[in-house]
Amino acid sequence: MALYRRGIKSIIGNLTLVADDQALIRCEFKASRKNDASPLLDLAEKQLQQYFAGEIKQFNLPLNPTGTEFQKKCWKYLIDIQYGQTVTYKEEAMKISGPNYTRAVAGANNKNPLPVFIPCHRVIGSDGSLVGYAAGLKVKQTLLEIERKHL
């Protein structure tokens, strides 16, 4: 199966989008010099720009993150969190498997291969603080501010 990569510059830094012929499979917080031709990457880049500009509130493209069944269950929950809203890791755990799974949920969110597209930035600490984001808390804060600005 062919993989296509595209490096893009964004307001949250350099990103690399990775897709196959059917779906977007990764969004990485790093630069790539590749700029493969792909209608799916064209769509993903356009929608990402629209999201950052506040023109769209959800993405409409096929996603296929690779992970365990538990991780996929957590990521599916993330997609259902409304634009501009936040939930706590404990609230997510309660919906997924119960309060004893808070750390497991946080670990699954940390492994999210499609951040921004699967909005793990919408999950916060029980005390309302910004905690745990693979790209750093400044990026998480920026994403939440974009959404709050365009509600």
Q: Is 120 an annotated catalytic residue?
A: yes
- What totals of helices (H) and strands (E) does the chain contain, helices first? 5, 5
- 8 A C-beta contact, residue 41 and residue 4: yes
Which of 150, 113, 117, 148 has the alpha carbon at shortest distance from 130?
Answer: 148
The partner residues of 16 in beta bridges, in order of sequence, read 7, 28
Pairing of strands 13-19, 24-28: antiparallel
Q: Check 81, 120, 124, 139 and give the catalytic one.
A: 120
Q: Which residues are catalytic, by number?
A: 120
